[in-house]
Amino acid sequence: MSDFHNKTVYQIYPKSFLDTDGDGWGDLRGVLQKLDYLQELGVDYLWLTPFFVSPQNDNGYDVSDYRRIDPRYGTMEDFDRLLREAKARGIELMLDMVFNHTSTAHPWFQRALEGDPLYQSYYFFRPGKENGAAPTNWESKFGGSAWEYVPKLNQYYLHLFDRTQADLNWDNPEVRREMRDIVRFWMEKGVKGFRFDVVNLISKGAFNDDDQGDGRRFYTDGPRVHNYLQELNRETFGRDADILTVGEMSSTSMENCFRYAGEDSHELSMVFSFHHLKVDFMGNEKWVLVPADFGRLKKLLFSWQEGMAAHRAWNAVFWCNHDQPRVVSRFGSEEEYWKESAKMLASAIHCLRGTPYIYQGEELGMTNAGFTRLEQYRDVESLNHFQILRDKGMSEESAYQILKVHSRDNSRTPMQWEDAPHAGFTSGSPWIGVNPNYRRINAARQTAEPDSIFRHYQALIRLRKQYAVLAEGDFSPLTPQHPSVLAYCRHWKDETLICVNNFYRRPCSWTSPVSLEGFEVLLSNYPDIKPQDHLSLRPYESVILLHRSQ
Ligand code: TEU
User: How confident is the model over 11-17, as a mean pLDDT?
Assistant: 98
70 close to ligand 1 (CB < 6 Angstrom): no
197 close to ligand 1 (CB < 6 Angstrom): yes
- Pocket test of ligand 1: the residue of 106, 164, 197 to mutate, having most ligand atoms within 8 Å of its CB, is 197
pLDDT tier for residue 212 given thresholds of 50, 70 and 90: very high
Spacing, Cα 161 to ligand 1 middle (Å)? 8
Q: Which long-range contacts (CB under 8 A, 24 or more apart) does 400-407 make?
A: 400/374, 401/289, 402/287, 402/288, 402/289, 403/374, 403/377, 404/368, 404/369, 404/371, 405/280, 405/289, 405/325, 405/368, 406/286, 406/287, 406/325, 406/382, 407/325, 407/369, 407/377, 407/379, 407/382
Our measurement of the distance from residue 7's CA atom to the centroid of its chain's CA atoms, rounded to an integer in Å, reads: 16
Phi, psi (5° rounding) for residue 211? Answer: -90, 0
State percent of the chain over pLDDT 70: 100
pLDDT tier for residue 3 given thresholds of 50, 70 and 90: confident
pLDDT tier for residue 2 given thresholds of 50, 70 and 90: very low
Our measurement of the distance from residue 349's CA atom to the centroid of its chain's CA atoms, rounded to an integer in Å, reads: 14
286 close to ligand 1 (CB < 6 Angstrom): yes
Spacing, Cα 492 to ligand 1 middle (Å)? 36
Type of residue numbered 119: Y
| pLDDT tens figures, 319-332 | 999 999 999 999 99
Which range is least confidently modeled, 66-70, 314-318, 378-382, 546-550?
Answer: 546-550
Minimum CA distance residue for ligand 1 atom 6: 323
User: How confident is the model over 466-491, as a mean pLDDT?
Assistant: 98
pLDDT tier for residue 205 given thresholds of 50, 70 and 90: very high
Its pTM surpasses 0.85: yes
Spatial CB neighbours of 63, under 8 Å, sequence gap ≥ 6: 50, 52, 53, 54, 98, 102, 103, 106
Under 8 Å between Cβ of 531 and 516: yes
| pLDDT tens figures, 141-196 | 999 999 999 999 999 999 999 999 999 999 999 999 999 999 999 999 999 999 99
Closest C-alpha among 213, 269, 261 to residue 237? 269
Neighbours of 497 (CB within 10 A): 22
Q: What is the CA radius of gyration of the chain?
A: 23
Q: State the closest ligand 1 atom to the C-alpha of 274, by its place in the atom list counted from 1.
A: 6
| pLDDT tens figures, 258-307 | 999 999 999 999 999 999 999 999 999 999 999 999 999 999 999 999 99
Minimum CA distance residue for ligand 1 atom 1: 198
Average pLDDT, the chain: 97
Determine if residue 326 is left, alpha or beta; phi over 0 gives left, psi from -120 to 50 gives alpha, anything else beta: beta
Phi, psi (5° rounding) for residue 510? Answer: -140, 130
| pLDDT tens figures, 336-393 | 999 999 999 999 999 999 999 999 999 999 999 999 899 999 999 999 999 999 999 9
396 given a catalytic annotation: no
- Pocket test of ligand 1: the residue of 97, 100, 141 to mutate, having most ligand atoms within 8 Å of its CB, is 141
Spacing, Cα 381 to ligand 1 middle (Å)? 9
- Pocket test of ligand 1: the residue of 97, 163, 198, 288 to mutate, having most ligand atoms within 8 Å of its CB, is 198
Cβ burial of 186 (10 Å; 0-12, 13-18, 19+) is buried
Our measurement of the distance from residue 29's CA atom to the centroid of its chain's CA atoms, rounded to an integer in Å, reads: 23
214 close to ligand 1 (CB < 6 Angstrom): no
pLDDT tier for residue 481 given thresholds of 50, 70 and 90: very high
User: How confident is the model over 107-131, as a mean pLDDT?
Assistant: 98
CA angle in degrees (0–180, nearest 5) for 150-249-167 = 15
| SS3 label, residue 65 | strand
Distances (CA, A) of 142 to 48, 59, 173, 283, 344: 23, 14, 28, 17, 33
Asked whether the predicted pLDDT for residue 1 surpasses 60, the reply is no
Asked whether the predicted pLDDT for residue 420 surpasses 80, the reply is yes
C-alpha to C-alpha distance for 222 and 230, rounded to whole angstroms: 14
Phi, psi (5° rounding) for residue 511? Answer: -110, 125
pLDDT tier for residue 550 given thresholds of 50, 70 and 90: confident
C-alpha to C-alpha distance for 83 and 80, rounded to whole angstroms: 5
C-alpha to C-alpha distance for 200 and 497, rounded to whole angstroms: 34
197 given a catalytic annotation: yes
Spatial CB neighbours of 239, under 8 Å, sequence gap ≥ 6: none
Spacing, Cα 403 to ligand 1 middle (Å)? 16
272 close to ligand 1 (CB < 6 Angstrom): no
User: How confident is the model over 384-408, as a mean pLDDT?
Assistant: 96
C-alpha to C-alpha distance for 159 and 213, rounded to whole angstroms: 17
Distances (CA, A) of 317 to 211, 321, 410: 34, 11, 20
C-alpha to C-alpha distance for 374 and 402, rounded to whole angstroms: 12
| pLDDT tens figures, 263-275 | 999 999 999 999 9
Closest C-alpha among 231, 171, 180, 173 to residue 202? 171
Q: State the closest ligand 1 atom to the C-alpha of 408, by its place in the atom list counted from 1.
A: 10
Choosing from 92, 248, 334, 409, the catalytic residue is 248
DSSP 201: G
Spacing, Cα 550 to ligand 1 middle (Å)? 48
Under 8 Å between Cβ of 388 and 402: no
Choosing from 27, 44, 167, 197, the catalytic residue is 197
